[in-house]
Each structure stands twice: as structure tokens, then as C-alpha cells.
Amino acid sequence: MMAVLDENGPEPATPHADPRGNPLLRTQFVIPARPATFLRRERLDEHLDEALLTPLTVVDGAAGAGKTLLVADWAAARDRRVAWLTARLAGKGCGTFWAYLLQALRLADVTLSGDIGTPAEPGHVDDALLTRLAGELSARDAPVVVAIDDYDQATDPEIADQLDFVLQQAGRGMRLILVTRTEPLLPLHRYRAADAITEIKNAELAFTPREAADLLTLHGLRLPDDDIGALVNRTQGWAAGLRLCALAARGEGDPRTYLKGFEADRTTIADYLLAEVLKRQPPQTQDLLLRLSILERFSPELADALTGRTDAGLILTGLHRENAFVEYLGHGWFRFHPLFAEILRAHLRVCRPRLEPELHRRAAHWLRRSGSLDETLGHAAAADDWESAADALVDDLAIGEIFTGLRTDALSELFSRMGPEPTTPATDLVRAARHLAQCDVERGLGRLKRAERALTRQSGSSEDDGPGLAAARLSCALLEVTAARLTGSPGRAEAAARTAERLSSEVPGRRLEEHPELMALLVTHLGSARLWAGRFQDARAALTTVADSGRTAPTAHLREECLGHLALIDYLNGWAARAERKASAVAAAAGRCGPPAAPGPGLASLVLAAVAVDRNELDRAEAHLDAAADARHPLPDPLARAVHALVTGRVLLARGDTRAALEAADRAAGADVTSPWAAAHTTAVAAAAHLADGRPEMAVKLLAEEPEGEPVCLVGAVRAELAVGRTGAAIELLERVRPQGHAGPAITVRTALARAQVAGEVGDVATQRRLVARALEEARRERLRSPFLEAGPWLRALLRTVPLRGLAEGWLVPGPPSPGHPEPVQERPPLPVVQELSGRERDVLRRLAEMMSTEEIAADLYVSVNTVKTHIKSAYRKLAVNRRQDAVRRARELGLL
């Protein structure tokens, strides 16, 4: 089968100008065609057949040793299809590599379930994905043969480990053949010791005199044995050397004399022979060969664009017919043998030193018209023609790929070489996108504004309101929404999203379909901005469209991000368990398997932390908080920073560190527009800290400043008013808590407890019990412990009474000792209701445990004996004990000491 160039599938760029990211190219998966002059060698084919007996086969040899053709010929002759992958372009990052390898397997009719997934980042692939792949391969009846050509180009060191892992796990289901110039980094010693490897090395690939004679005959050259022997000696049986010899000698009247000259010459072989071969070509052909050396592959039309002539078709067909160094890929496309291309490039630099940038420029221009973005970018960058590169990217609606998908690394590296010039709208858009991708909003907005101004001028001055301008404006709108989200400006996000909506009908629909990430990014950011504004319904509508979209690679990350946002909405509405399910689904989607692993950086981890706080699982909450913001992934936007601040504040509050909690709540600021719920929650944390520190008036004052309606503030205010003894005010506040149909247990439980506390204050014990019972019932399902811990000491006595005790036992307070099982082993000992001890009370308790007397403690802490007694009394009360030994024991049980 010949290589196919389909019209949507751009072709690979040259290796030295490769933007690294390419869509999955069909030519990567095609077994290369053998030239007419290919010589099949039985001894090597037989050795390769042994490849089926060992899991791993390595064919390694020098450039031009004939490795690829050998394996390609062997593979093509097999009954079953071999999964073929050329790693030349695929192997730069392990994510890209595995994306290509999965595709290669599918193209070889290996049935793989969709559950395996696709890597979403160029430089990362999840272990779970590899485990699933190996699992499916190991279940096969017959092994799939996977051949990876140019394996030495797969430079990411993780690839070797991952291949080793999959090969081991897949067992009999997979046979791997690596064609490479250098020994692969797999643990070959282990394979050798286990006799699990077949190796074909340079010496074995070398042509014997007999084979050399056959090869030369195929090239139309017959020589006596002596001469063959001398030639094999000089070339050391190197396939490329022999072929070049045949080419060079064929034009000579007396090949034998010519070859004698070659044998005597001491120039390096390829160097000498290639110069000879080149010298023999007519000037137009020489010129063509030199110019084409900058291309990884070429069609006659592209070649004509580089020469400015029209003879490329004829010349290339002729060259292909007469030698193996111009290879035909099918559908009108050719390429040079890599060795030949390398040497030609050296010649180009010597003969036409200043031509290279111009050639790249012309190639970029031609390729852009033919719709091949990757190659266009590669050549435009090589020509230092950033205007064209940026234009191509923006025109293609591919600017979203700077933020997400397999090409992010490639594009970021490519455009990192762009200097401050030129300043066209497109280059500024690319610069803005790169700044925003690094969350550098200020510089990003600067570039974006400049691009917008230029675009406004353009649309006024000319009639060119065509799709090109629409694409640039749509890109603008995307960046605008991105910036609006990063600065917390919902209004700007909405306006830009409306503009984008209008523009999306003015750009070619096909382009939009090719770049699903563009609209997905826009909608994700819009949803995030709406959530920040507290418009949960509208936010949910936007986020759901992305979260429900398919799991394609370019939008996989966005889907997770949207799920994280949806989880946050659930949490804020009081549905802790729902929020947890969604946030955990992000972990599952990301493939980072096995609970209790966190989904990694991002909002989903923050939501899990928040849910853990509601359950008073503080260590877990802290672990999730740590996972949410590591050094590599700083929290991107005000929303994530606000959630991080308030969850941190609540953890600190639960640990009794009120001062740090106040500081954490203080850090939440920093957005263009204040978020109502973020402000309310932050105030609630601060108020709770003041209340715990005995400053209820301060709490009342803070909460009074918040706009009404947020349950979290009302509940806090009720407790604060009760603490200052204004029962009437508390009752008044309670009446303002409106029953909200969509509120979940985390809200309703807290409200019920606040009502219960008020009922207790006015002496309505029956109502109080009924409310506490309802709160316990609702909270039990979701194990919401912290509302009860926050409620205060009044609750403790109640929980010891029947029937409330029964409702609380087992999850909130320790369960009854059951006969026969005196010590039920529980993973997480249930936390009893204890009001946090103050720092001073702890100090005193610690000294009590050291058997110090009250006087000694007073002396040690530089306080009066009476103060110590006050602290001890207060600690007894909080621990619900009456004696010193009980206090120490209880404190130990609770891990307070």
C-alpha cells in the first residue's frame, strides 16, 4: 500500500523545522514501499521470522544500512497486518507517541475498546491508559506485531520505560520490532538474559560479496568477483555506499577503472559518492535537488514553487526510476532518503548560502495555500517569517491549540522563537495567547488590545471583511473571554462570547469542526465567569455542553475543567456527595487511577477538599488542597484562588487556628468584579474566627455588611447574635432564611441547627430536639460532621439523650460497644463533638499530662494560678469531663496532645 495524502491531513514538516505537533498523519502508519532495485535477502528474513518467538526485536544499524526496507519488506509479506509506526515525527513527547501508536494499532485492525482513552498532553500519558492497553493486548489469541521505524527519533526517555511496561504486561499478545540507529533505552540486558530478544545488528545487515553482486546487477552493473570484493571491502558492505557506487559508476564508460579510483580515494564514502552522483546531473536537476533538500517530502508542484520552473515532475519521476534515493510515497508525493537529504543540505549551504530562508518562505507560502498548517508553521518559522506563521495559525482558527491539546508544547516552542517584531494583528494575537496561557494577564491584555485596535482600523478602511478578518476577530473574542475569566470579569466575558457567537457564522464551518477546542475553550471560560458571578443556572448550562461532549483529545482537559466547575456548583448548593462524585469523575477521566488519589491540580481537588472539611476529615482536606495548587500549576483565576482561600480558612478554623484562618480569608481578594458567594463564604469564615476568639460583636458587624440571602452568612449571624445575647435579633434573622428548593443537606443541616439553637434559647426543647433529629438524619447519609462541630457546646448534652444519641452514633460520636465485638475496628474513628480547645487551654492540658501541679503550670506559663484554673475549667467543659485524669485521657483519645 502506498502512502496517502488526504486533503485534510497535513504532511509532516522537515525534521529541522518541525513544529512537533502534527495531526495523526496517515503516512506515519504506512509500511514504506520497496524500490525496484530492492534486494530481498533470505538470511535476514529468516532471522526476522524469529522475531515472532521473542517479545522484542531490535534492528539497529547505521544510516543507510537498509534497516527500514528490510523490515518493511518482511512486514508487507506477512498475512496478518503489522502495526507500523514511523517515530520520526511522532516520538518527541510520550503523549504524542502513544496517541500515534494507538492509531497504528487500530489501523492494523487491532480491536481496541474506546475505554482505553487518548493521551491529552504531548508530554504525558497516564499509567492507567498503558495498563488498559496492555490488558487488552494480553487477551489476544495471536500476537500483534508492532514495528516502530526511526525509533531513535523517539527521544522522550519515558517512552522506553512505557514500551517495556506494555510489552511485559501484554505478554504473548504483542511482539515489538524496533528499527533504530542507536540501541534503545529498554533494559536490553534483562531481555538478553531471559532470551527474550532478537537482535539484528550492523554487521549482519552488511552486504556479503554475493549479495553486493546481486544488488549491483539490479542497478545494471556487472563486475568481476575481485572488484566486488574490493568494493565491499571499501564500503564495508554498507547498503547506501553500494547503491551510490552503482549510481556513480553507471555513467562511466569504464566502471571498473572508475571504481578503482573510488577504492583508492580516502574521502568519506557518502561524501565522495554523493558529490559524484550530484556532479553527473544536469544543472537544472542539481539545482532542484539542492532546493528540495529543505523538505521532508515534496510534490512536483511544491518543487516547482521552490525552483520557479515547471520541470520538477519530469525530473523527479526520472530520478525515482533510476535510484533508491528519491522515494515515491504515492499520490504524487516523493521524499529523499534521509542520508541523501542530509548531505544535500550541506551542499546547499555551501553552494547557495543565503537561499535557505527564501526556500522556507516559498515552501510555507505554497503549503499554506494547500492547507497544511503544521508544515506551513515549520517552514515559516525556519524562514523567520513570523507574520506568515501567525497569519496561518489565526486563519486556521487554531489559536486555541496554544492552550489545549496535543500541539500545545509544539506551538509554544515554535512561537517562543518569535521576537518583538513584527506587530501585525495576528502576531499580537499569538503573543497575547501565549501570555494568557501562562496566566500573565497584564501582558496578554496589552497585546490583545493592540491587536483589537489594528483590526478595528482594518475593517473600517477596506472592503476586506472576509473570512480572514472574521477568523482574527473570533480569535480576539476567545482571548477576550479567556482574559475576562482570568481577571474575574463576567460582564466582559458575556460581551465577548456574544461577539464570538455572531462571528462563528462568518468563518468556514469546516475550520470550526477541525478545531473543536476553540468554541469549547470559549464556553468553558464563559461558564467559569458566570459561576464567579454567582449565576449558577447559566453557568451550568454553558459548562454542561462541554462536559457532555465526546472525549476527544483536544477537549479532554476542558471536559475535566467543566466537570470541576459543575462539582463546585453542587458544593455551593449544599450537595456535598454529588459534588464529590463529579470531582472524583475528573480523577477517573484523567486516568490517575486508584482512590484516594486526587485528580491533581485544579478545581476538582479543591472541591474534594471542601467536601472533606464538611466531613471534618481535615488531613484529607489538606492533602487535596496541596494537590490543587502545586508549583507547576499555580491557581489560574480568582475563582480557584477564592475557593482555595476559603477552604484553607475552614481547615484552619476547624483546627482551632483562628488567626491563620483570618489571614487565609483575607487572601481571597483580587478580581475585577467581586463574586457574591465567594465574598459571603469568606466573610463567614472570618466571622466564625472572631466568634471562636470571643469577639461576637465583631462577627455580627462583619456579617451585617454582607448582602442578605446567603445562607452561610445568615447562619453565622444567628450564632453571633445569640453569642452576644440578642435572641430577638437571631429570631428575626432566622425568618429571613428562605427555604430554597435546591439547597442540599450541607445548607439545610446548618440552618436546622441554627433554628434548634434559637429554639433552645427560648426554651422550646421539643422543637429543638425535633430540629436536631432532622439535622442528624439529613447529615448522616453524607457524613456531614462539621455543621455539628461548628454549632457549639450546647449540642453536646443533647446528643447524649435518647433518641438523638442513636442517630449520632457510629458516625458522629462513638457507637455503643457491641457484645462479642468489644472494639469494632473502624478505618476512621468517629469524631465526637468537641469544641476546639484554645491554644492556651492546650498548653495547660499538655502540662497536666506531664503531672505538673496547678502552681507549677502557672509558673511555667508566667500566668496566675487563677488563670490556669480558668483554663482547666474551660478545658474540662469542652472535653465533657470533671477530673484531671479523664481530661488527659480524653484529650489523648482525640489526638489533641
Partner 1 sequence: MRYEIRVDGQMTETLAKAFPELDHVIMSGQTLLFGPVVDEAQLYGLLARCQSLGLHVLEMRQMPE
Nearer to partner 1 among residue 343 and residue 652 (C-beta): 343
Nearer to partner 1 among residue 338 and residue 696 (C-beta): 338
Measured CA to CA, the distance from residue 392 to residue 201 in angstroms comes to 44
SS3 496: helix
For the record, the C-alpha cell of 279 comes out as 556532479
Q: Exposed, middle or buried, 268 (CB in 10 Å: 0-12/13-18/19+)?
A: exposed
For the record, the C-alpha cell of 585 comes out as 469523575
Measured CA to CA, the distance from residue 540 to residue 89 in angstroms comes to 40
Least Å distance, CB 245 to partner 1, is 13
| Options 77, 346, 762, 859; binder of partner 1; rule CB under 8 A | 346
What x/- string results for residues 275 through 304 when contact with partner 1 is judged by CB under 8 A? x-----------------------------
| Options 70, 146, 295, 343; binder of partner 1; rule CB under 8 A | 343
Nearer to partner 1 among residue 259 and residue 430 (C-beta): 259
Please report, to the nearest 10 degrees, the dihedral formed by the alpha carbons of residues 840, 843, 849, 850 taken in order.
Answer: -140
CA proximity to 432, closest of 472, 375, 374, 376: 472
Number of residues that bind partner 1 (CB under 8 A): 26
Least Å distance, CB 68 to partner 1, is 14
| Options 32, 64, 255, 490; binder of partner 1; rule CB under 8 A | 64
The reply on whether position 345 binds partner 1 by CB under 8 A is yes
| Phi and psi at residue 254, to the nearest 5° | -125, 90
| Options 108, 129, 146, 270; binder of partner 1; rule CB under 8 A | 270
Nearer to partner 1 among residue 56 and residue 240 (C-beta): 240
Measured CA to CA, the distance from residue 491 to residue 470 in angstroms comes to 22
The reply on whether position 266 binds partner 1 by CB under 8 A is yes
What x/- string results for residues 380 through 419 when contact with partner 1 is judged by CB under 8 A? ----------------------------------------
Measured CA to CA, the distance from residue 326 to residue 316 in angstroms comes to 8
Q: Exposed, middle or buried, 792 (CB in 10 Å: 0-12/13-18/19+)?
A: middle
The reply on whether position 272 binds partner 1 by CB under 8 A is yes
| Options 350, 766, 825, 851; binder of partner 1; rule CB under 8 A | 350
Nearer to partner 1 among residue 326 and residue 688 (C-beta): 326
Least Å distance, CB 72 to partner 1, is 20
Measured CA to CA, the distance from residue 391 to residue 617 in angstroms comes to 52
Nearer to partner 1 among residue 238 and residue 536 (C-beta): 238
Q: Candidates 59-67, 216-224, 361-369, 510-518: pick the segment binding partner 1 (CB under 8 A).
A: 59-67
| Phi and psi at residue 198, to the nearest 5° | -110, 130
326-330 vs 333-336, strand pairing mode: antiparallel
Q: Candidates 56-64, 209-217, 287-295, 574-582: pick the segment binding partner 1 (CB under 8 A).
A: 56-64
Please report, to the nearest 10 degrees, the dihedral formed by the alpha carbons of residues 360, 363, 369, 372 taken in order.
Answer: -90
Q: Candidates 341-349, 721-729, 801-809, 820-828: pick the segment binding partner 1 (CB under 8 A).
A: 341-349
The reply on whether position 339 binds partner 1 by CB under 8 A is yes
Interactions with partner 1, residue window 860-879 (CB under 8 A): none
Please report, to the nearest 10 degrees, the dihedral formed by the alpha carbons of residues 636, 640, 642, 643 taken in order.
Answer: -160
What x/- string results for residues 429 through 468 when contact with partner 1 is judged by CB under 8 A? ----------------------------------------
Nearer to partner 1 among residue 2 and residue 275 (C-beta): 275
The reply on whether position 354 binds partner 1 by CB under 8 A is no
Measured CA to CA, the distance from residue 600 to residue 660 in angstroms comes to 25
| Options 342, 387, 663, 809; binder of partner 1; rule CB under 8 A | 342
The reply on whether position 766 binds partner 1 by CB under 8 A is no
Measured CA to CA, the distance from residue 887 to residue 353 in angstroms comes to 88
Nearer to partner 1 among residue 270 and residue 647 (C-beta): 270
Q: Do residues 718 and 734 make contact, with C-beta atoms less than 8 angstroms apart? A: yes
The reply on whether position 36 binds partner 1 by CB under 8 A is no
Tell me which long-range contacts 624-627 makes (C-beta under 8 A, separation of at least 24): 624/598, 625/651, 627/598, 627/599, 627/600, 627/601
Least Å distance, CB 149 to partner 1, is 15
| Options 349, 361, 769, 846; binder of partner 1; rule CB under 8 A | 349
Q: Exposed, middle or buried, 157 (CB in 10 Å: 0-12/13-18/19+)?
A: exposed
The reply on whether position 746 binds partner 1 by CB under 8 A is no
Least Å distance, CB 380 to partner 1, is 23
Least Å distance, CB 561 to partner 1, is 35
Interactions with partner 1, residue window 104-163 (CB under 8 A): 152
Least Å distance, CB 263 to partner 1, is 13
Q: Candidates 42-50, 143-151, 344-352, 837-845: pick the segment binding partner 1 (CB under 8 A).
A: 344-352
Q: Give the CA radius of gyration of the chain.
A: 36
Least Å distance, CB 122 to partner 1, is 19
CA proximity to 539, closest of 603, 610, 476, 585: 603
Interactions with partner 1, residue window 215-254 (CB under 8 A): 238, 240-241
Please report, to the nearest 10 degrees, the dihedral formed by the alpha carbons of residues 172, 177, 182, 185 taken in order.
Answer: -20
Q: Candidates 270-278, 546-554, 640-648, 790-798: pick the segment binding partner 1 (CB under 8 A).
A: 270-278
Q: Candidates 57-65, 568-576, 692-700, 712-720: pick the segment binding partner 1 (CB under 8 A).
A: 57-65
Query: What b/e readout covers 524-562, taking b as 16+ CB neighbours within 10 angstroms?
Result: bbbbbbbbbbbbbebbbebbbebbebeeebbbbbbbbbb
Measured CA to CA, the distance from residue 574 to residue 501 in angstroms comes to 33
Measured CA to CA, the distance from residue 691 to residue 724 in angstroms comes to 10
Interactions with partner 1, residue window 169-198 (CB under 8 A): 181-182
| Options 2, 52, 63, 834; binder of partner 1; rule CB under 8 A | 63
Query: What b/e readout covers 332-341, taking b as 16+ CB neighbours within 10 angstroms?
Result: ebbbbbbbbb
Chain contacts with partner 1 (rule: CB under 8 A): 62-64, 152, 181-182, 238, 240-241, 266-272, 275, 338-339, 342-343, 345-347, 349-350
